Structure 1
């Protein structure tokens, strides 16, 4: 039975990684759900205050990495606050409008549209900002993947 329990926990963690590129899935919630599932299926005894504190710090760093990566990507290429909002909206809406490709195209199109319609930038400048948004998104995915791996690694180190 414990193999089945571990498989369920692994699936919950896998869903958290899907959430890295599909923002409708809250990655942190699924990681914490895996911790809680372990507690219910096995035992909460391995979890100390230190465990929850370390995981909370990782979660805060995860949120910060997401925000900072997008911000730096857009700002580095001359984007405005509107481009950051456009990129975020594009990231949320893109996958629904253009399945699969919308994950990549959404932030790019959102940032470009924001720069053109809000700040009346020319197409070349707006596309440059859109590329910055895309670079920020991809950087964010890599950074968050590493942080989530640390969260799960610390969990496994704690319980095994």
Structure 2
């Protein structure tokens, strides 16, 4: 059983590393990879985490996954972005993700919001302000993903060390 646990722990560390990279790179969903590391430990050692704990962490992971996409849009709406600004930010985010990885999603959102606001007739100053707000809320989403992944890494490390003590 120890060899299986060690193999799963190594795989879990790799999943956590992918998770942290995925917090920054938009193409990878970071926290879900980190969550998989916890599930793997539960699979090989059922008493390591409670089901309630995993359900809560899983629901938080799902919520953060969606927040990653919604926070920049909510930020733009809070600062009275036009519908075109919001739509262009979403379009820019999608285009940026595919054509300019790894940071194209965030930059596409920024430039898309600015372009949409300029098309809507806002001043350059107002358009840039809304674009920057969208950008800042994207960074906030990244920070939330990093924190969640860090929490899961902590519980993972605690469980692995606790298994051998």
Q: Pick the TM interval, shorter chain.
A: 0.7 to 0.9
**Which residue in 1 is equivalent to 2:138?**
137
Q: Which moved more, 1:103-112 or 1:75-84?
A: 75-84
Aligned residues: 158
Taking the aligned partners of 2:94 and 2:46, their CA distance within structure 1 comes to 35
Q: Name the TM-score, length of structure 1 as normaliser.
A: 0.76
**Which residue in 2 is equivalent to 1:37?**
40
- Equivalent residue in structure 1 for 2:14, among 5, 11, 14: 11
**Which residue in 2 is equivalent to 1:20?**
23
Taking the aligned partners of 1:81 and 1:39, their CA distance within structure 2 comes to 45
User: Cα 1:56–1:104, aligned 2, differ >3 Å: closer, same or farther?
Assistant: closer
- Equivalent residue in structure 1 for 2:52, among 47, 50, 53: 50
Q: Name the TM-score, length of structure 2 as normaliser.
A: 0.74
User: Cα 1:78–1:154, aligned 2, differ >3 Å: closer, same or farther?
Assistant: same
- Is the CA contact 1:23–1:91 (under 8 Å) kept in the aligned structure 2? no
Report SS of the residue matched to 2:53: helix
* Deviation sequence 1:91-146 (CA, Å, 0-9, x none): 333143234452442110121122233x2323322111111111111121112211
Gaps of at least 5 residues in structure 2 are none
Pair member with larger Rg: 2
